[in-house]
Amino acid sequence: MSLYDLIQKNSNLFFIDAQTGHAVSIKSFHQSLPIDDRQGLVFIYNDNLIGSVEVLLNFMNSRFTIVLLSAQLHPSFKQNLEALYTPYYIYDPGRTAIFGYNTIATSLSIQLMKRKTLPEYYIHSNIKMLLSTSGTTGSPKFVKLSDDNLVQNAWSILDYMPIQSDDVVPLNVPVVFVYGLSIFTTNCMAAGTIVCTNNDMLQPAFWSDFTKYNCSTIGGVPYVYEMLHRIGFFRKNHPSLRYMTQTGGILNQALRNEIVKYISTYNKQFFAQYGQTEAAGRMAYLPQEDLLTKAASIGQPIKNGRFEIDEQTSELIYYGPNVFGGYANTPDDLSSWHETNKLYTGDVARQDEDGYYYITGRIKRIIKLFGTRLNLDEVELILKNALGGQTVVCTGINDKYLLVSHVNDQLEEATIKKVLQEKLQINPVSVQVKYIPTMPLTPNGKIDYSTLMMHA
Partner 1 sequence: MHTQQQVEEVIAKAFGITPNDITDELEYQSIPEWDSVSHLVLVTELETAYGISIEMEDVLTMGSVAKVKELLKKYNVEQVA
Q: How far apart are CA 226 and CA 202, in angstroms?
A: 12
Q: Are 426 and 369 in contact (CB under 8 A)?
A: yes
Stretch that binds partner 1, among 52-60, 138-146, 174-182, 223-231 (CB under 8 A): 223-231
> Among residues 30, 38, 230, 306, which is the contact residue for partner 1, using CB under 8 A?
230
Residues 380-409, mask of contacts with partner 1 (x by CB under 8 A): ---------------------------xxx
Shortest distance, position 441 Cβ to partner 1, whole Å? 6
226 versus 278: smaller Cβ distance to partner 1? 226
Shortest distance, position 331 Cβ to partner 1, whole Å? 31
> Under DSSP, is residue 157 helix (H, G, I), strand (E, B) or coil?
helix
Stretch that binds partner 1, among 154-162, 252-260, 378-386, 436-444 (CB under 8 A): 436-444
Residues 406-435, mask of contacts with partner 1 (x by CB under 8 A): -xxxx-------------------------
- The answer to the question of residue 451 lying near partner 1 (CB under 8 A) is no
441 versus 456: smaller Cβ distance to partner 1? 441
74 versus 368: smaller Cβ distance to partner 1? 74
- The answer to the question of residue 371 lying near partner 1 (CB under 8 A) is no
> Would you put residue 299 in left (φ > 0), alpha (ψ -120 to 50) or beta?
left
Site for partner 1 in 234-273 (CB under 8 A): 235
Q: How far apart are CA 128 and CA 155, in angstroms?
A: 17
Q: How far apart are CA 228 and CA 353, in angstroms?
A: 34
Q: How far apart are CA 374 and CA 169, in angstroms?
A: 41
Q: How far apart are CA 45 and CA 93, in angstroms?
A: 7
Q: Are 305 and 284 in contact (CB under 8 A)?
A: yes
Shortest distance, position 440 Cβ to partner 1, whole Å? 9
Residue 452: DSSP 8-state: H
Shortest distance, position 206 Cβ to partner 1, whole Å? 8
Q: Which of 367, 346, 348, 351 is nearest to 359 (CA)?
A: 348
- The answer to the question of residue 202 lying near partner 1 (CB under 8 A) is yes
> Among residues 1, 23, 231, 453, which is the contact residue for partner 1, using CB under 8 A?
231
Number of residues engaging partner 1 in binding (CB under 8 A): 21
- The answer to the question of residue 76 lying near partner 1 (CB under 8 A) is no
> Among residues 441, 446, 449, 456, which is the contact residue for partner 1, using CB under 8 A?
441
- The answer to the question of residue 296 lying near partner 1 (CB under 8 A) is no
> Among residues 76, 204, 425, 455, which is the contact residue for partner 1, using CB under 8 A?
204
* Residues near 59 by beta carbon (within 8 Å), at least 6 away in sequence: 35, 42, 44, 66, 89
> Among residues 37, 438, 454, 455, which is the contact residue for partner 1, using CB under 8 A?
438
* Residues near 109 by beta carbon (within 8 Å), at least 6 away in sequence: 51
Residue 380: DSSP 8-state: H
Phi and psi at 377, nearest 5°, equal: -65, -40
Q: Which of 298, 305, 272 is nearest to 377 (CA)?
A: 298
Shortest distance, position 451 Cβ to partner 1, whole Å? 13
Chain length of the chain: 456
116 versus 236: smaller Cβ distance to partner 1? 236
Q: How far apart are CA 330 and CA 319, in angstroms?
A: 27
Phi and psi at 104, nearest 5°, equal: -120, 125
158 versus 441: smaller Cβ distance to partner 1? 441
β-bridge mates for residue 350, sequence order: 358
Q: Are 9 and 26 in contact (CB under 8 A)?
A: no
> Among residues 11, 232, 312, 455, which is the contact residue for partner 1, using CB under 8 A?
232
207 versus 358: smaller Cβ distance to partner 1? 207
Q: Are 446 and 385 in contact (CB under 8 A)?
A: no
Site for partner 1 in 305-364 (CB under 8 A): none
Shortest distance, position 151 Cβ to partner 1, whole Å? 33
Binding site for partner 1 (CB under 8 A): 200-204, 207, 223, 227, 230-233, 235, 407-410, 437-439, 441
